[in-house]
Amino acid sequence: MVLMYADPAATGAMSAADRAEVFRRHEALHQDLAGTGEMLNGAGLAYPKDTTTIRWRREGPTAADGPLTGSPEQLTAYFVIDCTSPERARAIAERVVDGHVVAVEVRHVHDSFGMGET
C-alpha cells in the first residue's frame, strides 16, 4: 500500500494549473500501473477537516471532529498495488512524492480482506 501525505493548507493554496499538473501526474501513474496490472485500488481522500476520528476510551468509543493527528501533513490518498518486490513498491512511491505529496509511506498489506492473495 502506498499512503500519500500532503499539507491540506498548501493544497488549498495551489493554483488551478498546479492542481491540474498534480492530477495529470497521478493519473499517468495510475494508467501506467493499471497497464502493468500492479494497480489494484486507490482513491483520494476528503480534506482532514471533514474527518471524524473515533477513539476507544474506558467508557467506550468516542468521536471527535478532525484527523487523528494535529500534524500539518495528513493522509490524503492511497494506492493498493501488487508488485514483485519492496524495491518496486519504493520505485512506484518515488513517482508520487513531489512538492504536493510531501511524504509517502509504503506498507505491506498482510491481510487482504477478500481482495485476493497479496
- pTM of this structure: 0.84
DSSP letter at 114?
Answer: T
Residue 114, pLDDT score: 61
pLDDT along the chain (118 residues), means of 10: 94 92 91 94 91 94 92 93 95 91 92 60
Residue 118, pLDDT score: 46
Q: Which residue shows C-alpha cell 476520528?
A: 53
| Domain 9-103 annotated CATH 3.30.70.1400 | no
Residue 115, pLDDT score: 59
